[in-house]
A and B are shown apart, each in its own frame.
Chain A
Amino acid sequence: MSDDESSMLHSSLIWDQDGHLSDIAQNAIVDAESALLPREAYEHAETCETCMRSIGQLAQVSLEIDDALKQLNASYLPQRAAESGMRRAVRLRHWPVAELGLALVIALLGQLPTLQGLSPAGIRHALKALVQVSLQVLQHVAATPLGAALPWIATGMLVAISGGIAYAAKRGLAHNLTSPLSSQPPRLR
């Protein structure tokens, strides 16, 4: 029942060839998705016995589906979580990996002229200097109060990480015990 036509469904999805509302439009009315439908669709629904009969049946079915899903929810939620995890994995797979790789190669090629003047001895010297500087920085930090606290900070981090791993493992175990992941439909009682 919206006046904003840009947000509405295309008329071919709303009307059947016989002039009645399509099943998509009837479902949208059941779900009160009024922004998707023009005013005429609601006006038609209010007066057309044929469409209203279908909408009544759909509303009844939608309630039965809700009831059934409510009972199914406990066993379906883990499945949904798995599906959403799969969706995330698919999204990751859809990252432009090839394009990123190509960009890196082009960047490296751009740096090639600057690497031309370096000899193996020069590279060795640069690495040696880097190691020496790093050691000096570490020695300097160790002489400060922060350096004295570093072992404690490292110990604390290790304890926190191991605690996190133990908590995650416990949750995973509980999840597996209480809600077995199954894509099989539930059996008739």
Chain B
Amino acid sequence: MAEGLDNAALVSYRPAVRALIAHVLGVGLSHADVEDCTSEALRRALEGHARLQPGAALRPWLLGIARHVALDARRARMRALRRDAGAEGEEDRVETALPNPHEQAVLTERTARVQQAFGLLPTAQRQALSLHAEGLGYREISAELNVPIGTVCTWIARGRQALARSLDESEASVTDTKLASSEANS
């Protein structure tokens, strides 16, 4: 379960870190910010690796750093855009690293959605995802559940797909509600 953060691990995680950063920033891979944030995230991970608790899973920790770096960069970019637009000062007071109440409510709603959808997954997918969240690799899960590695890959992919779908549906329902209320108001 315990993973070390060496060069091999960094190389293995780099595509996922880069893709996540591009996703959070909402830009293409070739954007300069993606490369900057990727380097920054990997640098922070290398420096802070000693603080990672023994036995803790490396992937969520590392991707969490990447998400944090990307969110910081996105907020900084938005601040700069607003400053350029002449709203200087106000946003600097409001923008913080912490999510605002609206963002927090959305996060809570999404977490609840994932939890609900997780409970509805087939047992095999639930077990695979749960073991994976605990930090086990595909091979370890394969040994634990006594199934071929390809089956583990499929369970994890299908499970995530189902959970992602539940999040998409939640976003769609929120959008539908907003549309309905705006139509009703007009």
Partner-B contacts on A (CB < 8 A): 1, 9-10, 13, 23-24, 26-34, 36, 42, 45-47, 49, 52-53, 55-72, 76, 80, 83, 87, 184-189
Which range contains the number of B residues in contact with the other chain?
A: 35 or more
B12 in contact (CB, < 8 A): yes
Query: A32–B117 Cα gap in the complex (Å)?
Result: 25
Q: State the Cβ distance, B128 to closest chain A Cβ, in Å.
A: 11
Do B160 and A27 touch (CB < 8 A)? Answer: yes
Query: A65–B64 Cα gap in the complex (Å)?
Result: 12
B-chain residues with CB within 8 Å of residue A27 when the two chains form the complex: 153, 156-157, 160
Given the contacts A71-B111, A185-B116, A185-B118, A64 and B20 also touching, CB distance less than 8 Å? no
Query: A36–B113 Cα gap in the complex (Å)?
Result: 31
Q: Of all chain B residues, which has the CB nearest A58?
A: B160
B79 in contact (CB, < 8 A): no
What are 29 A-B pairs at a CB distance below 8 A? A10-B150, A23-B157, A24-B153, A24-B154, A27-B160, A28-B153, A31-B16, A31-B138, A31-B156, A32-B9, A32-B58, A32-B59, A34-B11, A49-B29, A52-B29, A55-B19, A56-B20, A56-B22, A60-B23, A62-B60, A63-B20, A66-B57, A69-B133, A71-B111, A72-B115, A80-B127, A186-B119, A188-B112, A188-B116
New contact pairs (18) apart from A32-B12, A188-B113, CB-CB < 8 Å: A10-B150, A27-B153, A27-B160, A30-B59, A31-B132, A31-B156, A34-B12, A36-B138, A52-B22, A53-B22, A55-B15, A56-B20, A56-B22, A61-B163, A62-B63, A64-B111, A67-B114, A185-B119
B129 in contact (CB, < 8 A): yes
Do A9 and B59 touch (CB < 8 A)? Answer: no
Q: Of all chain B residues, which has the CB nearest A2?
A: B12
Query: A46–B129 Cα gap in the complex (Å)?
Result: 26
Do A49 and B28 touch (CB < 8 A)? Answer: yes
B24 in contact (CB, < 8 A): yes
Do A33 and B20 touch (CB < 8 A)? Answer: no
Do B115 and A30 touch (CB < 8 A)? Answer: no
Query: A10–B154 Cα gap in the complex (Å)?
Result: 12
Q: State the Cβ distance, B165 to closest chain A Cβ, in Å.
A: 10
Do A185 and B115 touch (CB < 8 A)? Answer: yes
Do A83 and B127 touch (CB < 8 A)? Answer: yes
